[in-house]
Amino acid sequence: MAGTGVFQEILDGDVYKYYADGEWKTSSSGKSVSILNPATRQVQYKVQACTQEEVNKIFESAKAAQKLWAKVPLWKRAEALHKAAALLKEHKAPMAECLVKEVAKPAKDAVSEVVRSGDLISYTAEEGVRILSEGKFLVSDSFPGNERNKLCLSSKIPLGVVLAIPPFNYPVNLAVSKISPALIAGNAVVLKPPTQGAVAGLHMVHCFHLAGFPKGLLSCVTGKGSEIGDFLTMHPGVNCISFTGGDTGIAISKKASMVPLQMELGGKDACIVLEDADLDLAAANVVKGGYSYSGQRCTAVKVVLAIESIADELVSKVNAKIAKLTVGLPENNSDITAVVSESSANFIEGLVKDAKEKGATFCQEYRREGNLIWPLLVDHVRPDMRLAWEEPFGPVLPVIRISTAEEGIHHCNANNFALQGCVFTRDINKAILISNAMETGTVQINSAPARGPDHFPFQGLRDSGIGSQGITNSINMMTKVKSTVINLPSPSYTVG
């Protein structure tokens, strides 16, 4: 049960504490932030509304802790991460319970998120000891005009304090995907969890606490964005920002100081289906890609671009699968559950109404109860409809009929979002050409978009993000290069 057993100390009455200096604390503000259960729309949890003063103290401790942590041998940092991974898996049930209650994640997916997070931490520890143990050794005589009298040793060193801001849809997994590379590379981390998902995040942080990381190295601050949002991202103590979320990221990138940024800000992933595609495979992936976790994934299929000659058959196969999706409570493992908030549901409804008014064909009746929206496939969507371009982040998927693959590529590239895309065809040569032409961070051939496996590079182009993620890229991104050059008094060559 959340907040019980080893997790009892993270709760003060009915308000979850924040984590600073290796301790669970109650904010001096005396205020809390309520978290609504998306399904019941009732208050489920409360977290501390931290103050700017508390944020300042967190950065002070983080800076001090990082200086010591950078001197901890790499194998010991890895050992601590492995311990955290094991604790996370051991305590998957209370964390999964929070994910069900806070973000309406179906119960089985909630458990998978925590297990995947444990695996991600362990893999990061292993990858970290390999790639961080390697540097570069360069000799000077390869550059014209030089003799071999300069020897350059370069290695990867930590950035300092990493500010990690994960989104509501993976509050555990996308938090550890930032925390673990930062820690293995010798950085400290200040985590600002999403409000919706904060309690799952606090439980995850407690696993790091139980694993025995030094005081102040990892902190977790909760509160109102209006009070501490900009204060955090513009704080002089921040040496790197890793953010996943919506277009707030664009605002952060404009306000942040000169620090490395890693951002993933959503997608409008296009699924191009050609006339020679395996339509059963395509339909299965459209449904899995478009409707899993009710479409609330950056990598969800967000627009189907089907060649007219196969569009009717594809739509009918997709509809047959949609009819089998269960709709209801996350506790019951329903496929489709309430979207995260009323404002999200209202936004989705706005897109649906716009498409209806402009003459799109609804394959199912539009149905909404509270934050629960029934899965909907909207056919014959045209470029003048908002649904063609905007990201619903809900179980509503548009189909645009196209005459040629080029038309599909053009639609994909005309969008500001450019995270992933996919193409279904039996012709691998055509698939490679289309992949090269689609200007997105990743193109999947014959499968729906997805971030994982978690060591694969993951990046968005244009408004979808900055920098590349995935375990290896994140470790590298959270380091900088330091060189030491040995200047010999005279050239020296080893002659063998």
- Catalog residues that contact ligand G3H under the rule CB under 6 A: 169-170, 297-299, 450-452
Residue 368, SS3 per DSSP: strand
Residue with tokens 């064909």: 361
- CB of residue 419 vs ligand G3H: minimum separation in angstroms? 8
Specify burial of residue 487 (Cβ count, 10 A radius: 0-12, 13-18, 19+). Answer: exposed
Considering the complex, what minimum distance in angstroms separates the CB of residue 474 from ligand G3H? 12
Strand order in the sheet with 465-466: 23-25, 18-20, 218-220, 188-191, 161-165, 240-244, 261-264, 465-466
Least distance CB 452 / ligand G3H (angstroms): 5
- Decide whether 108 or 130 has the Cβ nearer to ligand G3H: 108
DSSP string, 180-201: HHHHHTT-EEEE---STTHHHH
Q: What distance in Å separates the CA atoms of residue 95 and residue 102, rounded to the nearest whole number?
A: 10
Residue closer to ligand G3H by CB (options 246, 328) is 246
Cβ count within 10 A of residue 353: 12
φ/ψ region of 87 (left if φ > 0, alpha if ψ in -120 to 50, else beta) reads alpha
Residue with smallest beta-carbon separation from ligand G3H: 298
Closest to ligand G3H by CB, 7 vs 170, is 170
For ligand G3H, give the closer residue by CB, 297 or 317.
Answer: 297
Task: Work out how close the CB of 484 gets to ligand G3H at its nearest, in angstroms, rounded to a whole number.
Answer: 38
Catalytic residues, by residue number, are: 264, 298
273/450 with CB nearer ligand G3H: 450
CA-closest candidate to residue 324, choices 269, 369, 378, 364: 364
3 state SS of 67: helix
The token duo for 120 is 């991600």
CB of 395 to ligand G3H, least distance (A): 15
Helix ranges (DSSP H) in 258-302: 279-291
Alpha helices (runs of H) in 243-307, residue ranges in sequence order: 248-255, 279-291
Judged by CB, which is closer to ligand G3H: 140, or 341? 341
Neighbours of 157 (CB within 10 A): 16
Nearer to ligand G3H, 160 or 194 (CB): 194
- Give whichever of 297 and 411 is closer to ligand G3H, judged by the CB atom: 297
Rounded to a whole number of angstroms, the minimum distance from the CB of residue 355 to ligand G3H is 23
Closest distance of CB 220 from ligand G3H, Å: 20
The rounded radius of gyration (Å) of the Cα atoms in the chain is 24
Cβ pair 176, 163 in contact under 8 A: no
Residue 79 per-residue DSSP state: H
Least distance from ligand G3H to the Cβ atom of residue 458, Å:
7
Task: Compute the half-sphere exposure of residue 419: CA atoms within 13 Å on the CB side of its CA.
Answer: 28
Report the sign of the C-alpha dihedral through residues 18, 22, 23, 25, in that order.
negative
Which H or E run includes 434? helix 428-437
